[in-house]
Amino acid sequence: MRVYLKTFGCSSNRAETAALETLLLGGGFEVVNEPASAEAVVINTCTVRRDTELRMMKYMSSLTGRKIVVTGCMAEAQPATIAATFPQASIVSPHNLPMVAKALAAGQRSVFMDHDPKPLDPAPYGRGVRHVVTISRGCLGDCTYCIVRVARGRLTSVRPDKILDSISLAVREGAREVLLSAQDTGVYGMDLGTDLPALLHSLARFEGSFRVRLGMFNPSSVIPFLQRLIEAFDNEKLYKFAHVPVQSGSDSILNGMGRHYGVDDFRRVITSLRSRHPEITLFTDIIVGFPGESEEDFRATCLLLEEIRSDKTHIARFSPRPRTPASAMRQLPEAVKKKRSIILTEIAMRVQREINSQWIGRAVGATVVDYFAKGGMIARTDQYKTVAIGGLERSLIGERVEVSILSATPFFLIGEINRH
């Protein structure tokens, strides 16, 4: 059977799709690159936002005359919605991925829901020089707006030795960029009697020309071991990169969100990281229009965004999700959310352009990791800055190069290789 795999959502979903591909190929299925040539489609879903849900529903509606299997977060958190809208689709919990093959092979619609998460397989997933290693599933938070905790459950961490073996395997298979993925990497190991800094310090055992990118961590998760985390970033194997969501510049909104930290806690994390690693690349996330967000709250978020000057800011309008406390709160008008998101986006784009422009004229080391959609290649600096380079031969994929930065956009740098 020819199967097409479609992924929505985060890096953890992409890792699970790669795992699914391995499982299906081992089971005798043929995985194809285009849905038009597929007899069946497996959709790995995301349920973080309503607009993503609508896009997935639209995509499912476009699939006619073939078998559909739905897995991922929506399959776990909203199976009734899927069943009501697409009664012909099979549903498989993300905790039960091996059952996707059975659902594909079954002659009729199947449902495989397993609410008892199995031990995670930390095997590296990826193609070429970029691999993902999942270090944990679930989180310890109780954010009032988040449905992912319903889908992924409480924290389940992978043993450190298994993670290190997976990184070693990925490198042997040619990986030059390894992403450590989790819903919140900051809580890694708390169910095992270890923690994230201990895992990161163990990276020193590895040799070879590769870099590790740490996935998102919440401020409240890392404050207990902040100094040790900062010291872990001394390791040259670790990209000088931190994805730390703030979500709001208002303590009252953060409290309503159930985030368990304040704005000053976020500032402390960012300031501490930058004090030891001044050029560390910072990604953050902001939710605009959370229930109860006043003009004063919104202004505080704008001022914080100007202050922290993140290298990239993901701005999302609040989207009430089923089975969450925030969905029962009084909602702001969509017009207010839209206006505020436009203002924040303008600030973010200006700041990102200003930051990236400071790199123009510099020569930096970078690793060529991928093809650029507009032609050429993509390289990453040691600060995880994306550099678009035109006209490179494919043989340079995975190689370390020296790049001169010629210009910049709010999203990436543009450069050329220095050939000595």
Mean pLDDT in order along the chain per 10 residues (420 residues): 90 82 90 90 88 86 88 88 89 87 88 66 73 90 86 87 93 93 95 97 89 96 97 96 98 97 98 97 98 98 98 96 93 97 98 98 95 85 95 80 97 90
Can you give the pLDDT at residue 117? Answer: 55
The C-alpha atoms of residue 259 and residue 253 are separated, in whole angstroms, by 9
The correct answer on CATH 3.30.310.50 for the domain covering 2-112 is no
Coil, strand or helix: which one is 242? strand
Largest CA distance in the chain: 63
Residue 343, classified by CB atoms within 10 Å of its CB into exposed (0-12), middle (13-18) or buried (19+), is middle
H/E element, 374 = none
Nearest to 249 by CA among 187, 295, 312, 281: 295
- Helices (H) and strands (E) counted in the chain, each on its own, are 14, 20
Can you give the pLDDT at residue 115? Answer: 56
The correct answer on CATH 3.30.565.10 for the domain covering 125-357 is no
Can you give the pLDDT at residue 21? Answer: 87
User: Hey, where are the domains in the chain?
Assistant: 2-112, 125-357, 363-417
CA distances from 77 to 18, 57, 290 (A): 22, 15, 21
125-357 matches 363-417 in fold: no
Q: Which residues pair with 414 in a beta bridge?
A: 388, 407
CA distances from 248 to 34, 293, 325 (A): 40, 9, 18
Q: Which CATH number fits domain 363-417: 1.10.1270.20, 2.60.40.10, 2.40.50.140, 2.60.40.1220?
A: 2.40.50.140
Can you give the pLDDT at residue 293? Answer: 98
Can you give the pLDDT at residue 318? Answer: 96
For residue 208, give every residue at least 6 positions away whose Cβ sits within 8 Å of its Cβ, in sequence order, or none. Answer: 171
